[in-house]
């Protein structure tokens, strides 16, 4: 074949445009990509569910001439480029180079977005946007767990992820859905995901404007602050329970209510 770029973006699956298929070493079956393998094996093959380890792939099949061969970028038979982007470590092919793919040695996998736009945080164990360099809370191996909302493994997810103020991570779309449902605290550690100071000021005004009934006016409760982890004894109020250390209303009751030092009946 005279043109190694022949068929570019014409082959592939819903996950990747590429001119080859892979033979899964775990089951010896042929799939368009490892994600197709995992979806089929985990959702349709309940008798033998398993996931393909990308680095273990040894054989690929050219989608243009159907020749099976060892992993390489150029087909040994027709000479077509089986992937405009190719990584010999991850055994990864992709014709859509607008993703700006790059291989991160520390992560051990390929990522998208352009190598110059990302840095690898060794403590978190993952690549993050340069905007977060020196501007995020490190949590050891923060990406090597499932999203607390959808339960998908984050480290090699195809979906965009975001880092919360507390350092925990989740999918951007899951984060957006939480805020749309007025959920503003991390589902893992319960710390606020935003600067809530304006909200706390509004709640201060509501508390001041809302007088509690006589039976509850002098009732006190012990609370734990989800934001600063401090404990304090405060007057009970239906609007919210304010932390006496940091001023947050992101708190929870921890003990039996009391009135003038006596347990409330």
With H, G, I as helix, E, B as strand and everything else as coil, classify residue 132. helix
Q: What is the pLDDT of residue 255?
A: 72
What mean pLDDT do residues 70-89 have? 96
CB 225 within 8 A of CB 245: yes
pLDDT in tens, 96-153: 999 999 999 999 999 999 999 999 999 888 999 898 888 888 888 888 889 999 999 9
CB 72 within 8 A of CB 79: no
When computed from its CA atoms, the radius of gyration of the chain, rounded to whole angstroms, is: 27
User: What's the mean pLDDT when you consider all of the chain?
Assistant: 91
Q: What is the pLDDT of residue 47?
A: 67
164 shares its domain with 203: no
Give the pLDDT band (50/70/90) at residue 188: very high
pLDDT in tens, 159-169: 888 889 898 99
**Within-domain flag for 6:** no
114: Cβ contacts below 8 Å, ≥ 6 apart: 100, 102
220 shares its domain with 258: yes
**Higher per-residue confidence, 137 vs 176:** 176
Q: What is the pLDDT of residue 14?
A: 95
pLDDT in tens, 41-53: 887 766 667 889 9
Q: What is the pLDDT of residue 265?
A: 46
Helix (H) and strand (E) counts in the chain: 3, 17
Q: Does residue 264 have a pLDDT over 70?
A: no
Q: Of 122, 152, 180, which residue is a domain's last?
A: 180
Q: What is the pLDDT of residue 45?
A: 61
Provide DSSP, 166-223.
TS-EEEHHHHHHHHHTT--B-TTT--BSS--HHHHHHHHHHHHH-PPPTTTTTEEEEE
CB 19 within 8 A of CB 95: yes
Exposure b/e, 115-133, CB count within 10 A at least 16 = b: eeebbebeebbbbbeeebe
Candidate from 52-56, 174-178, 195-199, 213-217 with smallest mean pLDDT: 213-217
258 shares its domain with 207: yes
**What percent of the chain stands above pLDDT 90?**
71
Q: What is the pLDDT of residue 162?
A: 87
107 shares its domain with 128: yes
Exposure b/e, 76-114, CB count within 10 A at least 16 = b: eebebbbbbbbbeebbbbbbbeeeebbbeeebebbbeee
The residue segments making up the domain with residue 142 are: 102-180
**Within-domain flag for 106:** yes
**Within-domain flag for 190:** no
Q: Does residue 230 have a pLDDT over 50?
A: yes
Q: Of 79, 99, 119, which residue is a domain's last?
A: 99
Q: Of 99, 119, 145, which residue is a domain's last?
A: 99
The DSSP call for residue 136 is S
Q: Does residue 12 have a pLDDT over 80?
A: yes
Candidate from 22-31, 36-45, 68-77, 121-130 with smallest mean pLDDT: 36-45
202 shares its domain with 239: yes
**What percent of the chain stands above pLDDT 70?**
93
Tokens of 221: 């409760």
Q: What is the pLDDT of residue 88?
A: 96
**Residue listed under structure tokens 């006016």:** 217
213: Cβ contacts below 8 Å, ≥ 6 apart: none
**Within-domain flag for 188:** no
**Higher per-residue confidence, 73 vs 1:** 73
How many domains is the chain built from? 3
**Within-domain flag for 176:** yes
């Amino acid at each position: 074949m005279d043109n190694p770029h022949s068929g570019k973006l014409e082959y592939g699956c819903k996950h990747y445009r590429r001119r080859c298929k892979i033979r899964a070493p775990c089951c010896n079956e042929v799939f368009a990509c490892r994600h197709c393998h995992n979806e089929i094996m985990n959702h349709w093959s309940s008798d033998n569910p398993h996931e393909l380890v990308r680095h273990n792939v040894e054989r690929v099949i050219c989608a243009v001439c159907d020749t099976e061969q060892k992993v390489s970028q150029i087909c040994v038979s027709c000479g077509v480029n089986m992937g405009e982007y190719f990584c010999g470590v991850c055994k990864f092919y992709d014709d859509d180079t607008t993703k700006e793919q790059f291989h991160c040695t520390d992560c051990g996998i390929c990522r998208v977005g352009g190598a110059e736009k990302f840095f690898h945080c060794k403590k978190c164990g993952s690549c993050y946007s340069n905007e977060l360099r020196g501007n995020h809370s490190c949590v050891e191996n923060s990406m090597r767990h499932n999203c607390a909302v959808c339960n998908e493994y984050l480290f090699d997810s195809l979906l965009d992820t975001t880092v919360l103020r507390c350092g925990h991570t989740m999918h951007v779309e899951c984060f957006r859905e939480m805020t749309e449902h007025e959920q503003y605290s991390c589902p893992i550690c319960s710390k606020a995901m935003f600067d809530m100071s304006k909200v706390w000021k509004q709640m201060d005004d509501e508390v001041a404007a809302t007088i509690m009934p006589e039976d509850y006016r002098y009732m006190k409760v012990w609370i734990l602050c989800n934001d600063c982890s401090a404990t304090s004894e405060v007057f009970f109020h239906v609007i919210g329970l304010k932390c006496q250390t940091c001023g947050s209303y992101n708190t929870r009751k921890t003990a039996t209510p009391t009135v003038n030092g006596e347990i409330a009946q």
